[in-house]
Chain A
Amino acid sequence: MENLIRGRVYKFGDNINSDIIIPGRYLIYIDPEKLAQHAFEVLGDGFPDKLRAFHIFVAGRNFGCGSAREQAVTAIMGLGIKAVIASSFSRTFYRNAINSGLPIIECPELYEAVTEGDDIEIDLTGTISHKERLIPFPKFPDSVRELLELGGLAEYLKAQQRKLQTS
């Protein structure tokens, strides 16, 4: 995984729940593209198509709350989103993001500072560059870093199986 993620920010508010991210009726899919077609559609108003012009989500408190559905992460990745930054996350969304290989960062400071459409640069070793500012965030633990680098838990399991079969 590249250490640098650059892109344009789409900004959400607080308590964006996983039923908004992907309604339950689409959980029959696991394919990122199919899920992305219906992501955020309950919000109406040009969703999800208008999100395709953005690369990074920034949100307020409790992003991804509600259902533990992993497809909430898959759908966001299907939209081409490279990272999600929020003031805080629900624990299931946070865990599913790491397990899916989607960089996820808690940074209330950026949420306060950023405006929709701003370009930012994330250095996964611990800083976000926004306008003239460099905003630090806590370093990922090594195990999380490893999962992100491998592209998620499914890839990790594949690698483990290969190891088992060759040993």
Chain B
Amino acid sequence: MGMTIAEKILAKKSGQKSVAPGQIVDAYPDLVMSHTATWRSVSVMEKAGATKLFDPERIAIVLDHISPAKTEKNALDQQKSRNFAREYGIRKFYDIDAGIAHLVLMEAGHVGPGDLIVGTDSHCTIYGSLGALGTGIGYTEVTSVWLTGKLWMKIPDTYRIQLNGAFGKGVYSKDLMLHLIGTLGADGCTYKSVEFYGDMIAGLSVSERMTMTNLAMEMGVKCAFVPPDAKTREYLDGRLKGRAYQEIQADADAVYSREIVVDLDNLGPMVACPHEVENTKPIAEVAGTHIDQVFLGSCANAKYEDLAVAAGILKGRHIHPGVRFIITPGSREIMLEAMRTGVLATLVESGGVLTNPGCGACAGDGGILADGEVCLSTANRNFLGRMGSSKAEIYLCSPATLAASALTGVISDPRN
């Protein structure tokens, strides 16, 4: 019987010839990622009295949430992570200058097709944009993988999502994902692996694929994949630095527990309304909603292409005087590219304020909302109180919708 991508990767990483959904295996990840939570994993390791790592080369650390340090407590926690990396020879250590862990690790060539990656962040699913199986775990489990090199994993069954047609003008993979999350629900794919197919994918940039596999988390997936192709190879070229990898594709006779078909020709811009990502509406239903702040950031939509799309709409114009516009590039590499091409200048000239690369306001670090305020954001979560006051509201959208709305001060359709 044929296998899906998740089944093949988990079989390979657990030394099995074949696996089937529901089976539990001991898998050996290629990489275990921890971000700002690293100090907690270090504490668990200290309490266990352990001093020997399974393999320091399989450990990556990126200080992305709440960075640079905001309080003495943050500073101490970061110091603990830094000291650990130094003491144990963790070469894949990235400090507060680097940006959001997921984007940094992919840019640095630490993620390849067929890899198994676990980490202290639910949005590890993003690695599926390069054909790797990424999934989130807690900090104690990170310690366990540091020490033992392995963890138990249940083989998920797989949903196949078929994308027919193509995105129209002003429509992006963010809109597709908000549509899917709204249709399937926040638990529509809980414990499932998801694979995306369709003729249009060949023309879809890795950046847009990252948005897809990142947002897939918000329908509960364990992992999500865009099967590797020429675009993947183009992205990896020069990044993997000669490291060999094997592209994993699903077998032609792989078994899917569900097939979902999306007609992209009829898809328009979508917005997620407070306070759940599944609360999505076509833009016409929320157009005109007053906004106080817009946030162009997060691992979902603060890549170079996202900044460039926003800049394309804002060029030569100024945002509405009642709107605060926070720009948080996803990584240093993204920020530098946006500096070189003038995209950053355009965004700041339009009235934006630039912050350092990292998670920033998405995780409530800066850009805090007061009672009654409304933020339109390109991030992946709009949960109650996530950006400050529990009496504030967060709407989620694509970078294009964000830019169009920043100009008018109300949620606006980027196609107009």
Which chain A residues have a beta carbon within 8 Å of chain B's beta carbons? 15, 17, 19-20, 23-25, 27-28, 30, 42-44, 61-62, 65-70, 73, 88-92, 95-96, 99-100, 141, 143, 152-154, 156-158, 160-162, 165
Q: Is the CB of A100 within 8 A of B390?
A: no
Q: Is the CB of B140 within 8 A of A99?
A: yes
Q: Is the CB of A157 within 8 A of B143?
A: yes
- Shortest distance between the CB of B219 and any CB in chain A (Å): 10
Which chain B residues have a beta carbon within 8 Å of chain A's beta carbons? 24, 36-37, 40, 43-45, 47-50, 65-66, 71, 73-74, 77, 120-122, 136-141, 143-144, 147-148, 152, 186-187, 190-191, 220, 222, 276, 278, 363-364, 381, 383-386, 390
Q: Is the CB of B187 within 8 A of A90?
A: yes
Q: Is the CB of B139 within 8 A of A70?
A: yes
Q: Is the CB of B74 within 8 A of A153?
A: no
Q: Is the CB of B121 within 8 A of A68?
A: yes
Q: Is the CB of A24 within 8 A of B386?
A: yes
Which residues of the partner chain A approach B147 to less than 8 Å between Cβ atoms? 157, 160
Those 8 A-B pairs whose CB atoms lie nearest each other, nearest first: A70-B138, A68-B136, A42-B385, A62-B187, A19-B383, A42-B390, A157-B48, A68-B122
- Taking a contact as CB atoms closer than 8 A, the residue among A20, A24, A92 that contacts B137 in the complex is A92
Q: How far is the CA of A19 from the CA of B382 in the complex (A)?
A: 10
- Shortest distance between the CB of A110 and any CB in chain B (Å): 18
Which residues of the partner chain B approach A157 to less than 8 Å between Cβ atoms? 44-45, 48, 50, 140, 143-144, 147
Q: Is the CB of B384 within 8 A of A19?
A: yes
Q: How far is the CA of A165 from the CA of B50 in the complex (A)?
A: 10
Q: How far is the CA of A70 from the CA of B139 in the complex (A)?
A: 7
Q: How far is the CA of A156 from the CA of B143 in the complex (A)?
A: 12
- Taking a contact as CB atoms closer than 8 A, the residue among B143, B220, B385 that contacts A23 in the complex is B385
Which residues of the partner chain B approach A143 to less than 8 Å between Cβ atoms? 24, 152
Q: Is the CB of A30 within 8 A of B48?
A: no
Q: How far is the CA of A27 from the CA of B70 in the complex (A)?
A: 13
Which residues of the partner chain B approach A44 to less than 8 Å between Cβ atoms? 390
Q: Is the CB of A95 within 8 A of B141?
A: yes
- Taking a contact as CB atoms closer than 8 A, the residue among B138, B186, B222 that contacts A96 in the complex is B138
Given contacts A28-B74, A28-B77, A65-B186, contact A153 B24 (CB under 8 A): no
Q: Is the CB of B190 within 8 A of A24?
A: no
Which residues of the partner chain B approach A96 to less than 8 Å between Cβ atoms? 137-138, 140-141
Q: Is the CB of A67 within 8 A of B144?
A: no
